Structure 1
């Protein structure tokens, strides 16, 4: 497989995963949530959101876990894509994944528990809910920023890394073995054995 073909696969996976993650946040925040509470009411809407949130955060964490290795694999094909910028973007993806996992596994249960406490837990509920909104917006900003960065990535300048074929690897190993002159126990040159590998021209 050529580097160009591999980059196309990795970029496609990365874009699909990142778009699915970002699109989920946009769709839930600006379409699902307002319609649910305006149509079903506060009490029924809260029950719906409670049932939806575990799948919501699982979707985001899964999409991020797919996007991260696909993003890192791209620069492995083209050395000109490597550098600190790739490391910063990878850390942003990892940070967004961790925030999603925290929101789904720790913050959401705490919000539900505060809501179940009734009036005594209102202050705690508002504080935790505000934190959830902030983290949700932060992950959304990271996702949009990564999409913009990808859209502005320059085209590859080289043909990328060329992996040798199995036949070429065998030829190189045979040539490398021949370049090492054999010596005996006293350190003197030893005559090559008749069954030793012969020098192979890689052009043949």
Structure 2
């Protein structure tokens, strides 16, 4: 049963890497800026929600097994970061872009990239420890 959380962690990492290194670059190569923006605004909520859902399943699995060790807390942190990105940071990024607040947009977008990178590093650490 513990392996379920490991598989979920691997799935989250796979989604994140695929999105970061395949989907996002193709979007910006294939679509003009206006359509890329529309597509990104529509796909990011799914990206965050799917990954948050997978984190929640892993967290519930750890709780069910009575395992509240380092792996539990790391996946919990990753889930919290997905929630912050989806429900707080993404709406701010969109607001700053829509109101031409370029400095705030750049800062908040950079923060979202850093959060994504931190999550990837934590997931790799989690999977190496297994």
TM-score (norm 2): 0.92
Distance, in Å, in 2 between the alignment partners of 1:116 and 1:36 is: 20
Q: Write the deviation string for residues 122-180 of structure 1: whole angstroms up to 9, x where unpaired.
A: 11100000000000111111111111111xxxxxxxxxxxxxxxxxxxxxxxxxxxxxx
- Confirm or deny that 1:39 pairs with 2:30: yes
After superposition, give the CA deviation of every residue in 1:58-104 in whole Å (9 maximum; x if it has no partner): 01111101112323555x5xxxxx7xxx5222111111111110000
**Structure 1 residues not aligned, in runs of 5+:** 1-9, 77-81, 151-204
Provide the residue aligned with 1:149 in structure 2: 129
Aligned residue number for residue 54 of structure 2: 63
- The equivalent position to 2:110 in structure 1, one of 105, 117, 130, is 130
Could you tell me which residue of structure 2 aligns to residue 48 of structure 1? 39
Q: Which residues of structure 2 form unaligned runs of 5+?
A: none
Does the alignment pair 1:115 with 2:97? yes
Aligned counterparts of 2:64 and 2:13: Cα–Cα separation in 1:
21
Q: Is 1:20 equivalent to 2:11 in the alignment?
A: yes
| Partner Cα separation in structure 2 for residue 109 and residue 101 of structure 1 | 12
Give the structure with the higher percent helix: 2
Q: Using the alignment, how far apart are the partners of 2:27 and 2:74 within structure 1?
A: 31
Pairs aligned (count): 130
Which is higher, the Rg of structure 1 or of structure 2?
1
2:85 pairs, out of 91, 99, 103, with: 103
Q: TM-score, normalised by structure 1?
A: 0.60
Report deviation, 1:55: 0.6
Give the CA deviation at 1:43. Answer: 1.9
- State the superposition RMSD in angstroms: 1.6
Higher relative contact order (CA 8 A, sep 6+): 2
**CA 1:89–1:137 in structure 2 vs 1: closer, same or farther (change >3 Å)?**
same
